[in-house]
Amino acid sequence: MRLTTKGRYAVTAMLDLAIHAENGPVSLNDISGRQGISLSYLEQLFARLRRCELVSSVRGPGGGYRLSRELGAINVAEIVDAVNESMDATRCNKRGDCQEGHECLTHHLWLDLSDQIHDFLSAISLQELIVRQEIQNTAHRQDMQSGNRIKAFLSDAMNG
């Protein structure tokens, strides 16, 4: 399976957005700070997520991004698919030319695995993820660390 950084970061950013959605639009800068993902990379990912109508942007002061649908109506596979991430365990990108232009012995095994992975991720919604205690614990820790960085920055600015 080739679930690279792009797919992982997209799911992480969408989960962060889902967790903080109750406070209004969420800025990419805030997601970047909490998740350690570069702002320019998030901008690229969110352009794709917006095109696939998973998020919508809100302009102006206090702007940012919102989910375009309810938490339970967005699944992890949709997010990965939106950023053009392949969930493919074959060596041939499902073309069937893995052994000198023909299918290898295990082509259909890896093809079935790819389908199983996609089905698995399709069955997990953002709603299911945000209620998990370990995810809530991690989000709380990240929020606390982010708040401490802001306080330190403001203190340095006032004393500098």
Residue 53's CATH number: 1.10.10.10
**Helix residue ranges, H only, 28-67:** 28-35, 39-51
Residue 23 inside a domain? The answer is yes
Specify burial of residue 9 (Cβ count, 10 A radius: 0-12, 13-18, 19+). Answer: buried
- Count the domains in the chain: 1
Q: What is the pLDDT of residue 153?
A: 55
Return the pLDDT at 98. 81
Q: Does residue 138 lie within any of the structural domains?
A: no
Per the structure, the complete domain to which residue 44 belongs is given by 5-86+125-130
Is 94 domain-assigned? no
Q: What are phi and psi of 66, to 5 degrees?
A: -130, 155
Looking at the domain assignment, is residue 34 inside a domain? Answer: yes
Mean pLDDT by 10 residues, the chain (160 residues): 82 97 94 96 97 95 94 96 81 82 89 92 97 94 80 62
pLDDT in the model for residue 155: 60
Q: Considering the domain boundaries, does residue 141 fall inside one?
A: no
- Does 24 fall in a domain? yes
Helices 28-35 and 133-159 sit at what angle, rounded to 10 degrees? 100
Residue 136, helix vs strand vs coil: helix
Residue 54 belongs to some domain of the structure: yes
Q: What is the dihedral of CA 138, 141, 147, 150, to 10 degrees?
A: -80
Q: Is residue 113 part of a domain?
A: no
Q: Packing angle between helix 28-35 and helix 39-51, nearest 10 degrees?
A: 120
Return the pLDDT at 152: 60
Give the per-residue pLDDT at 158.
67
The per-residue pLDDT for 150 is 61
